[in-house]
């Protein structure tokens, strides 16, 4: 059976493939039997399906998971619907192409995690190593799929890892040009600077942010990152200057009070972290805007840049 | 013997009384004997004295303590000096009038501490009570003499208590007008909101701030207050919403990012805390400026207000 | 007959009660006879009615008045309509519950007026007393129902009195904590500070603001308040410093040029007035926003605060 | 006898001429006799003189007046002093060249006053004429010598008239290009817009501003101008729209709240007044700065412009 | 035949007259024959017409031209349409009243051009004359119809000339009041200051701006004006100070970095140019807003002024 | 003879070595003979010397050159002076250590120039190559020693090359992380972005900036860079999009109007250039501030950063 994207589906087509459960709700049909009403999506669109005769004891499947479905496309009240014949939740080892379902980072999360761990291996400063590992442990599995933002930059599955590892590359380039910087301090700052976002936003495994958390709104990821770091330090018994330096790097990485940092960066590694962060965010935003704009034309106004973006003809 | 202030001293006068050691340094005289060179102050001025034949094993007295001295005023190289005949550090029970030596809060620290404790007694919310007591314990004895600032408002011995208890009065007035406010939450916020200043500034027992600390400069008292609060919560096992509400009150009490709060107050008690804080600070600044200005005249420009202040004739 | 709110009305119900005339227009029916088309409201909704055979000589009733109506609810073109059998304008003494018809201040205007008069009684400064009474006289009856704003805070019937009397309570609390403030000056400032609003906005007796006046837009209530105060002073022959002090308090009570005060508060009573004003406005806005938000949730962004507001779970 | 400026005086020279009394104080000499110690100035410098044997009953002459002195220059304690032989205060008709004594407007005050009066003659709108005349009457004689500022622009004797008449020329030019503007309204606005300065600053007859007044600091010339205008209107019985239009023009002529106008100009004549005002002020500042700077060079930073000014070579 | 505006047209009317082609597109009818679908406009509205049996070889007429049409008004699908019997593009000499078709400057472009040329004749400085003429030559014919803006001020056919010549009048008025200004420099600055707009915006011969150009968005008219000026200077061999003075006047004429001028005006002629420019723009905006507002009423908020505008009753 | 720095010199010492002529002036001694009064400096201090019997025909040596002197240190009026026995201007090949005389970039200018040329060799885009070479040719020899600023960052001999080559390294690192960027465009932007500074500031061969030029003050290096680029383009016949892209990169590289860029960066390479520029400037400033501050301490407030800088103890 050929493979289609959702936007290619037409009446009477046969379909088999992996889609994402965007929402799923258990309901009762006119005879009182349970069924599940689901909206399934890939990056191109959304289609509804019903699964009849649902086990009254079983809950509806959780949103945010890939599902394998087979069936026929039908039209009902002018809208397409998938009549499902067979389905199961995707299992480990299934050939699910997540990038076809939602925007994903260009590299695999496992590969990016490995890169962070290799970087940690090379640390010479034990305190910084211990604190950074502790922060990664607190973040746990969620780091694998967490996005870096709801909309701004790296709003994609594993976007937080994408942003972090690109920043690691930038930082390593900087360390060659400015060898007087403290290597471990800068790299530790890069790795932990946005981990607080995991408690600031609610995101599912597809990298989709549905809302901000209570703590995210009342404190923000900078301050929650700092209290987490203190918890790690207390647990691990770290009391040296490295702790307050990392606290300051977390607090100051937005650069100015206007952007949420009550203190500006006050030593070189904090300053470097701030610029690396903004540079990677901006390059990501610029790429997204340029990709959507034909060569020789200007984009609409990009909200986070407060300007229109030009796609040079020369580059194409 | 009559009692004089430092600015009243003249050549050949006999003097006996309590002064404050502003600085004290051990030196060697021309014959190689040790002596101590001290500058003694009260609120009206400063006079130098030497104490000869100092025990070579003993350190110079620490600055910031009251000392009792007896001696004769002499002139040396055109400046007055006290030739000391007898001296000792002030002991508990001595009739030292601290307010004659440095600017002091108008009430006794013990009385203000008692007021805070009485307020705590009346708390119904156990979590808020435990957290607030924990924060006071961390502050410890230093709270008794700590000023609220280096220069701005309540820059005086026990200024932090002065500011806190005046704010408690304001808060209690508010609770009558807006009885829907959560009483314990607001009062807890008032009591702990500035305790982080104790780790932000270096001050001696006279309430004199000599500098900001490393942590004070890198993090500020808002964020250090929050990490202290987390430490207390972990120790006491407090995990309910009261913790994050107090964290937010600490973080937002300066009102705007421009003034150091990355989050604005987001619930009514946080909002109230912010305005109570600014109102008490401003009334203190206004009083100080008005007291220094003759009726019917304008002060110089007051730095923290960015304006001149008028002393109405009508009021005098 | 049972009492219903407008949103409870259904076809065929009998209704008798007091409603508010939101609008009333005289028209001609198909036979050329006059009738009046009225929209009647309470706080829950709006219903249309026609009163047939209107006296051609009589004007339609003025909007903004309570009316007593009796009739039956009918449906016409899918919308409910009241077929009126009997009606009359509400008269003094009628048991009209204004608070059921429009948002009202929590206290009776007469009670609040009395409080202001009692405060005035206690003034020792004759000039301040005369000026304040003169300003209240200029405001006249309108003060009884005037709101404090179109939308921001205290946008309710008698909201201006509500705001003013809550501020009086705050001011009296302050005078206990800062007894060096000039009592009469501060209280006079509180009473007159917003009276200019009565000439700045057009409001009907229900406290509903329909527009700003020409003078309101060209000058604002601060400046119009000052010219009114000068007129009072000239009439009463007041020439002392109290006049210019009150002028300054009117001019500076918004605190900063950005918010409409070309001069910042330059003496302590003016400074106190500014903070009391902002504190009461903010507490009112906070209460309104919190009341509309379920416990544990965040409100939408509140325009006048430029932020979302949290309703703590702990408080409920 | 030749005529000298103060900076040309040398020991033993004979001097006769008009100087300005900058300060004059009555004192007693070593024998107990009264004398007057005066500092006399022209635009080039200052010299001290004593007038011995002063009548004990007579006050010292008032500062700010021209005086005719004759005497010899002497040296006393290394500084030059004038030994006065004969003196009298300048009388009407004396050939005093005020411009040699202090900076003066380039035209005679009488001539400028006449121009304003001629302009008033041509008014067709009676209300505007009456209000403008009333404002000029309130200003009275002081308008003849009053400067427009302490330091900024037109800080010179009769500077207020200089500024006003140059603005009248600008306004008349505008009326030709934009003939739809209301002529009388614009011209009335020009004439009265800065009259409030006469109550805002303390200036002597030489155009020297020594200080701001209490009302000037608490209210400013915009608001005091408006209250004066109301007083005039009440006296003259003017109640039409012209009054509120002029009030608005006074209030808005600084253009933005940041520069002291709580309302921006809201009709065309108010807008025109604002730009005419700023244009004349700036051209005056530019001329002063350029005159002090050699061709082909840059001035120091000009405070009121926040920039350096270039004197083009081409222009010289 | 009587003359109608588009908004006066009704079914069955005969029409003959000049209209503007707003858009014209070649299409095929149901039989496969070519026809042209056009929208024709005057200032009052728009009407559609089809011209059947179009020559398949011929292109559709270009938008932005006047066309003469004769035909009958019909209704099709509820909208009016013109059934065209005869048409031709307007030719030179036709009595086309452009001002009836689009907003036009109040004077003829030829007359305004002549005024500029007469002004140039009177220049004494050869370099300034040569540079200004060169800039006009670069602008060429487009200057005749180019508007000054898309929406802000002088958004009309020949608006750029209208703005420039009104500014010339203002400048000449200024030169009488401030005769020390360099006449030729100021006038040259006025003439060339906005010529860069011709390369910044895309406009058709009706003065309608459809978009900004690539260079307009990437550089703006200030900088493109400067590079054009340099090109002229190189061609004409001008190397004196006049070149850099004019460059600075172009660069600084928006006054502040916030409004696009990286340098503020640094000599008097540049300062004058800036204020003349803003004054003329504002008076035009004020007139447009006032004309649309009834006397005694306020306009909606005017975007470019960020305020509502009042139309005084007194003026009408 | 041993080698001394200027601050090590003492009375009666013999000195021989290379110093820098800071200033040199020809004067006449009491007998009417010519001599030259020179101030000689290295990085540690300044010493005066006179060279007697100067050839009346010869000019004084130009400031900014190294000179070889031999002589004895003497004291005259309490200040040290060098009595010169022999001297000559330094010649090519002399072992002059410029870095001992003034702050210098850490690498040789020739080496940095070579790196730029090698980069240019690798360009594939001919237009960009031609434009960049043309800009370097305009800069000429001065590029070798020109500083990047008077005080801010890279205020050192060859500082402009230092800044440019460090930015090239950053850019090349970026191109690996974001390979979709146009390599030649970004590198060309880096090379030419600050070349306009050579006409903006007056600097001597030691990298010392004495003043800003007329064009620098009236136009700035962004705009002068653009006009130079246009001149090059016209000469070389470059008319493609590369020209306007480079113009935009010059214009926008300060990022915001507040910092002198009337347009923000509007494509990705312009955005990258801006952040690379700011990052290198800031890292240089941070290094300078940290180097001057002891470990564990805070610097004074750094003007260009508007904050104090901390030197971590951990790093030392």
D246 touches chain E (CB under 8 A): no
For residues C127 and E86, give the distance between their C-alpha atoms in angstroms, rounded to a whole number.
85
Highest mean pLDDT among B66-75, D2-11, E131-140: E131-140
pLDDT number for residue B316: 59
Chains D and A make contact, 3+ CB pairs within 8 Å: no
Strands (E), D137-285: 201-203, 209-212
pLDDT number for residue A1: 60
H or E segment at A274?
helix A268-291
Task: Mark F225-260 as b/e (b = at least 16 C-beta within 10 Å).
Answer: bbbbbbbbbbeeebeeebbbbbbbbbbbbbbebeeb
Q: Is the pLDDT of residue C155 over 80?
A: yes
Chain A residues touching F311 at Cβ < 8 A: 267
| Block residue for tokens 């400064």 | C125
For F211, name the nearest residue in chain D, comparing CA atoms only.
Answer: D298
Q: Nearest to residue E160, comparing CAs of E204, E207, E121? A: E207
Bridge partners, C165 (sequence order)? none
The CA-to-CA distance between both ends of chain B, in Å, stands at 37
Interface test with E, best of D177, D190, D269 (most E CBs within 10 A): D177
pLDDT number for residue A314: 81
C286–B267 C-beta distance less than 8 A: yes
pLDDT number for residue E315: 66
E221 CA to chain F: closest CA distance, Å? 11
What six digits make up the tokens of B163?
């500011």
- The rounded mean pLDDT for chain F is 93
- List pLDDT tens digits, range D172-223: 999 999 999 999 999 999 999 999 999 999 998 888 898 899 999 999 999 9
pLDDT number for residue C316: 58
Q: Nearest to residue E225, comparing CAs of E252, E264, E263? A: E252
For residues E215 and F230, give the distance between their C-alpha atoms in angstroms, rounded to a whole number.
14
| Helix orientation angle between E241-252 and E126-139, rounded to the nearest 10 degrees | 50
Question: Is B315 in contact with B295 (CB distance < 8 Å)?
Answer: yes
- List pLDDT tens digits, range F81-106: 999 989 999 998 898 888 889 889 99
For C221, name the nearest residue in chain D, comparing CA atoms only.
Answer: D262
- The alpha carbon torsion through A89, A92, A96, A98 (nearest 10 deg) reads 100
Task: Mark D287-300 as b/e (b = at least 16 C-beta within 10 Å).
Answer: ebbbeebeeeebbe
Q: Please name the residues between 6 and 25 in chain F that touch chain E, using a CB distance below 8 Å.
A: none
Instruction: Give the range among A39-43, C312-316, E174-178, F232-236 with minimum mean pLDDT.
Output: C312-316
Chain A residues touching B245 at Cβ < 8 A: 218
For residues C264 and A171, give the distance between their C-alpha atoms in angstroms, rounded to a whole number.
48
- Tell me the helices (H) and strands (E) count for chain C, helix number first: 10, 9
User: Which of B269, B278, B287 is closest, CB to CB, to C268?
Assistant: B287
Bridge partners, A18 (sequence order)? A68
The values of phi and psi at residue C237, to 5°, are: 75, 25
E293 touches chain C (CB under 8 A): no
In three-state secondary structure terms, D67 is strand
Q: Report how far Cα B222 is from the mean position of its chain's Cα atoms.
A: 18
Average pLDDT on F279-288 reads 96
Burial of B65 (C-beta count, 10 Å sphere; 0-12/13-18/19+): middle
A290–F271 C-beta distance less than 8 A: no
Q: pLDDT tier at F153 (50, 70, 90 boundaries)?
A: confident
pLDDT number for residue A316: 58
CA distances from E44 to E8, E20, E99 (A): 9, 12, 11
Report strand pairing: C79-89 vs F79-89.
unpaired
Helix residue ranges per DSSP H, F182-240: 183-192, 197-200, 214-218, 220-236
Q: Is the pLDDT of residue B223 over 90?
A: yes
For residues D200 and D227, give the distance between their C-alpha atoms in angstroms, rounded to a whole number.
13
Q: pLDDT tier at C151 (50, 70, 90 boundaries)?
A: confident
B148 CA to chain C: closest CA distance, Å? 18
Question: Is B305 in contact with B285 (CB distance < 8 Å)?
Answer: yes
Q: Nearest to residue F199, comparing CAs of F186, F188, F185, F209? A: F209
Burial of A17 (C-beta count, 10 Å sphere; 0-12/13-18/19+): buried
Instruction: Give the range among A210-224, B158-172, C269-283, F144-158 with minimum mean pLDDT.
Output: F144-158
pTM, entire model? 0.90
Burial of B118 (C-beta count, 10 Å sphere; 0-12/13-18/19+): exposed
D310 touches chain F (CB under 8 A): yes
| Block residue for tokens 């994408």 | A162
For E223, name the nearest residue in chain F, comparing CA atoms only.
Answer: F223
pLDDT number for residue A92: 86
pLDDT number for residue D98: 85
Q: Nearest to residue B218, comparing CAs of B199, B195, B232, B193? A: B199
The CA-to-CA distance between both ends of chain F, in Å, stands at 37
- The rounded mean pLDDT for chain D is 93
Strands (E), chain A: 14-28, 34-42, 45-51, 66-76, 79-89, 201-203, 209-212
Residue contacts between A and B (CB atoms, under 8 Å): 74
For residues A148 and A281, give the distance between their C-alpha atoms in angstroms, rounded to a whole number.
10
Average pLDDT on B6-34 reads 90
- Tell me the helices (H) and strands (E) count for chain F, helix number first: 10, 7
For residues C73 and A134, give the distance between their C-alpha atoms in angstroms, rounded to a whole number.
69
Report strand pairing: C307-310 vs C298-302.
antiparallel
Residues 6+ apart with CB under 8 A from A279: A170, F174, F272, F275, F279
A36: number of Cβ within 10 Å: 22
Chains meeting A at 3+ CB pairs closer than 8 A?
B, C, E, F
Q: Is the pLDDT of residue C109 over 90?
A: yes
Q: Is the pLDDT of residue F53 over 90?
A: no
Interface test with A, best of C297, C298, C309 (most A CBs within 10 A): C298
E287–D268 C-beta distance less than 8 A: yes
Q: Is the pLDDT of residue B43 over 90?
A: no
For residues A66 and A83, give the distance between their C-alpha atoms in angstroms, rounded to a whole number.
18
pLDDT number for residue C45: 85
Interface test with B, best of D217, D220, D258, D260 (most B CBs within 10 A): D217
B276 CA to chain A: closest CA distance, Å? 20
Q: Please give the angle made by the CA atoms of B155, B160 and B162, to the nearest 5 degrees.
A: 90
Q: Given its phi and psi angles, is residue E212 left (phi above 0), alpha (psi -120 to 50 degrees) or beta? A: beta
For F312, name the nearest residue in chain B, comparing CA atoms only.
Answer: B214
F127: number of Cβ within 10 Å: 22
Average pLDDT on B96-106 reads 88
Question: Is E163 in contact with E148 (CB distance < 8 Å)?
Answer: yes
pLDDT number for residue A206: 86
Q: Please give the angle made by the CA atoms of C103, C107 and C109, to the nearest 5 degrees.
A: 90
Average pLDDT on D91-95 reads 89
CA distances from B21 to B69, B210, E117, F164 (A): 11, 14, 84, 56
E220–F227 C-beta distance less than 8 A: no
Q: Nearest to residue B156, comparing CAs of B167, B168, B144? A: B144
Q: Is the pLDDT of residue A178 over 70?
A: yes
CA distances from A91 to A96, C228, F106, F237 (A): 9, 79, 59, 63
Chain D residues touching C258 at Cβ < 8 A: 257-258
Task: Please identify every stretch of chain E with a pLDDT value under 70, giving residue numbers as ranges.
Answer: 1, 315-316
Question: Is D159 in contact with D172 (CB distance < 8 Å)?
Answer: no
Chains meeting E at 3+ CB pairs closer than 8 A?
A, C, D, F
For B233, name the nearest residue in chain A, comparing CA atoms only.
Answer: A231
- List pLDDT tens digits, range A97-112: 888 898 899 999 999 9
The CA-to-CA distance between both ends of chain A, in Å, stands at 36
CA distances from F214 to A228, D308, E247 (A): 56, 11, 12
| Block residue for tokens 């689009």 | E102
Secondary structure (DSSP) of D82-135: EEEEEEEE--TT----HHHHS-B-SS-HHHHHHHHHHHHHT---HHHHHHHHHH
- The rounded mean pLDDT for chain C is 93
Q: Please name the residues between 88 and 147 in chain E that touch chain D, using a CB distance below 8 Å.
A: 125
What six digits make up the tokens of A285?
């935003």
Q: Is the pLDDT of residue D316 over 70?
A: no
D178 touches chain E (CB under 8 A): yes
Average pLDDT on A120-129 reads 96
Chain C residues touching E296 at Cβ < 8 A: 214
Complex-level ipTM: 0.87
Average pLDDT on C216-237 reads 96
Chain B residues touching D218 at Cβ < 8 A: 310
Secondary structure (DSSP) of chain B: -----GGG--TT-EEEEEEEEEEEEEEE-TTS-EEEEEEEEETTEEEEEEE-S--TTSPPPPTT-EEEEEEEEEEETTEEEEEEEEEEE--TT----HHHHS-B-SS-HHHHHHHHHHHHHT---HHHHHHHHHHHHHHGGGGGT--S-SSSSS-SBTHHHHHHHHHHHHHHHHHHHSTTS-HHHHHHHHHHTTTTHHHHEEE-TTS-EEEE-HHHHHTHHHHHHHHHHHHHHHHHT--SHHHHHHHHHHHHTT-SGGGT-SS---SHHHHHHHHHHHHHHHHHHHHHHHHTS-TT-BPSPBTTTTB--B--STT-
- List pLDDT tens digits, range B254-273: 999 999 999 999 999 999 99
Question: Is E150 in contact with E163 (CB distance < 8 Å)?
Answer: no
| Helix orientation angle between B268-291 and C268-291, rounded to the nearest 10 degrees | 180
């Amino acid at each position: 059976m050929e493979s289609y994207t959702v936007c290619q589906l037409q009446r009477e087509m046969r379909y088999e493939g992996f889609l994402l459960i965007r929402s799923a709700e258990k309901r009762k049909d006119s005879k009182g039997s349970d069924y599940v009403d689901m909206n399934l999506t890939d990056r191109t669109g959304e289609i509804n399906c019903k699964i009849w005769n649902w086990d009254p004891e079983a809950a509806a499947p959780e949103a945010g998971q890939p599902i394998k479905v087979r069936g026929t496309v039908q039209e009902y009240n002018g809208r397409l619907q998938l009549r499902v014949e067979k389905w199961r939740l995707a299992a480990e080892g299934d050939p699910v192409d997540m990038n076809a379902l939602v925007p994903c980072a260009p590299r695999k999360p496992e590969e990016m995690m490995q890169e962070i761990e290799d970087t940690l291996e090379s640390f010479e400063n034990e305190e910084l190593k211990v604190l950074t590992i502790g922060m990664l442990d607190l973040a746990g599995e969620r780091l694998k799929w967490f996005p870096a933002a709801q909309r701004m930059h790296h709003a994609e599955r594993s976007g937080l890892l994408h942003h972090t590892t690109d920043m690691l590359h930038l930082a390593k380039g900087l360390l060659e040009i400015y060898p007087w910087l403290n290597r471990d301090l800068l790299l530790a700052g890069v790795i932990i600077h946005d981990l607080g976002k995991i408690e600031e936003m609610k995101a599912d495994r597809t990298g989709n942010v549905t809302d901000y958390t209570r703590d995210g709104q009342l404190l923000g990821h900078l301050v929650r990152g700092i209290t987490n770091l203190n918890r790690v330090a207390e647990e691990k018994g770290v009391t040296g200057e490295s702790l307050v330096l990392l606290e300051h790097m977390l607090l100051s990485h937005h650069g100015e009070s206007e952007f949420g940092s009550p203190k500006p960066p006050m030593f070189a590694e904090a300053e470097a972290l701030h610029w690396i962060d903004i540079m990677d965010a901006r390059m990501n935003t610029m790429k997204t805007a340029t990709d959507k704009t034909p060569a020789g034309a200007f984009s609409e106004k990009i909200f986070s840049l407060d300007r229109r973006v030009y796609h040079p003809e020369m580059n194409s």
